[in-house]
């Protein structure tokens, strides 16, 4: 119960997320009726701290507003930004989107989570929980195996070798021009305990490794050797 502990007051402290508490309460009033379900898109209310060596920490929360759509609010350097993530499971629409925006992704039976920014498509292979026929850790391991062999960057293996053993990779993200990659990790203990309506994941972008428990951002340099 988020209202019964100190997390929400701490997260939405004016120093961390100015005006965030009001945004949070407004979002709860307009939330999806199926907010607790991860079928058809991210479920629940998800909080994130995005840390970088070069930028101030970004405080974010994600909330499902309707089927196949979630909103994310980011607070960084005194500015609040809003972004919409959409979820598509139709293979024809996925093919149209990725071809139009020049995103090369592996073919799977799953859907994608995507947003468009500056005429670039950013997408992640999003699990279709209707296909879940295994315990959650095994389901995600199979999903990652499906996407991990596609046009792998050399640095990905290095990152995986340094990840804390408490975490397992679950899926990957891609973008237009293949200038950025993401690997999503889930904590084994959580995946074993939680069902698909309460999956939590930690995000790690591929290009720069800071810490297995932190989200970091980086961009691929096209002239780097072996890429």
Dist. CA 146–CA 66, nearest whole Å: 29
Using CA atoms of 154, 184, 176, 37 in order, give the dihedral in degrees to the nearest 10: 160
State the Cα angle at 218 between 177 and 99, rounded to 5°: 20
Q: How far apart are CA 173 and CA 35, in angstroms?
A: 23
Predicted structure pTM score: 0.75
Report the sign of the C-alpha dihedral through residues 191, 138, 64, 84, in that order: positive
User: CA 51, 57, 60: angle at the middle one, nearest 5?
Assistant: 95
- Spatial separation of the C-alpha atoms in residues 35 and 41, rounded to whole Å: 9
Task: Write out the two tokens for 98.
Answer: 């990725």
Q: What is the pLDDT of residue 199?
A: 39
The Cβ-side half-sphere exposure at 132, using a 13 Å CA radius, reads: 16
Residue 116 confidence (pLDDT): 94
Q: List Cβ<8 Å contacts ≥24 apart for 128-137.
A: 128/89, 129/38, 129/39, 129/196, 130/39, 132/196, 135/192, 136/191, 136/192, 136/194, 136/195, 136/196, 136/199, 137/168, 137/186, 137/188, 137/191, 137/192
Q: Give the pLDDT confidence score for residue 174 in this predicted structure.
A: 93
Q: What is the pLDDT of residue 2?
A: 54
Instruction: Collapse the DSSP code of 126 into the 3-class scheme (helix H, G, I; strand E, B; otherwise coil) and give the result.
Output: strand
Site of tokens 């007051």: 9
Residue 204 is predicted with a pLDDT of 37
* Per-residue pLDDT at 217: 34
Beta-carbon-side half-sphere exposure of residue 184 (alpha carbons within 13 Å): 20
Note down pLDDT in tens along the chain; length 227 residues.
Answer: 455 567 778 888 777 777 777 888 888 887 777 787 888 888 878 888 887 778 888 888 888 888 889 999 888 777 888 899 999 999 999 999 999 999 999 989 999 999 999 999 999 999 998 888 888 888 988 999 889 887 778 788 888 887 777 888 889 999 999 888 888 888 877 777 764 434 333 333 333 333 333 333 333 333 333 33
Distance, CA of 188 to CA of 212 (rounded, Å): 13
């Amino acid at each position: 119960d988020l209202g019964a502990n100190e997390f929400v007051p701490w997260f939405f402290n004016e120093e961390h997320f100015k005006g965030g508490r009001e945004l949070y309460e407004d979002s709860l009033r307009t939330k999806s009726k199926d907010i607790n379900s991860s079928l058809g898109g991210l479920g629940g209310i998800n909080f994130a701290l995005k840390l970088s060596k070069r930028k101030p920490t970004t405080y974010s929360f994600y909330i499902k507003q309707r089927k196949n759509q979630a909103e994310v609010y980011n607070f960084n350097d005194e500015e609040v930004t809003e972004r919409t993530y959409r979820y598509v499971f139709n293979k024809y629409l996925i093919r149209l989107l990725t071809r139009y925006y020049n995103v090369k992704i592996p073919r799977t039976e799953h859907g994608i989570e995507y947003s468009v920014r500056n005429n670039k498509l950013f997408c992640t292979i999003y699990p279709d929980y209707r296909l879940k026929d295994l315990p959650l850790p095994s389901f995600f391991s199979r999903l990652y195996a499906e996407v991990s062999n596609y046009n792998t960057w050399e640095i990905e293996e290095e990152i995986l070798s340094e990840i804390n053993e408490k975490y397992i990779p679950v899926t990957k993200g891609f973008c237009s021009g293949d200038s950025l990659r993401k690997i999503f990790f889930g904590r084994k203990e959580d995946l074993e305990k939680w069902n698909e309506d309460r999956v939590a994941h930690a995000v790690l972008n591929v290009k720069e490794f800071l810490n297995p428990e932190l989200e970091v951002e980086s961009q691929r340099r096209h002239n780097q050797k072996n890429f």
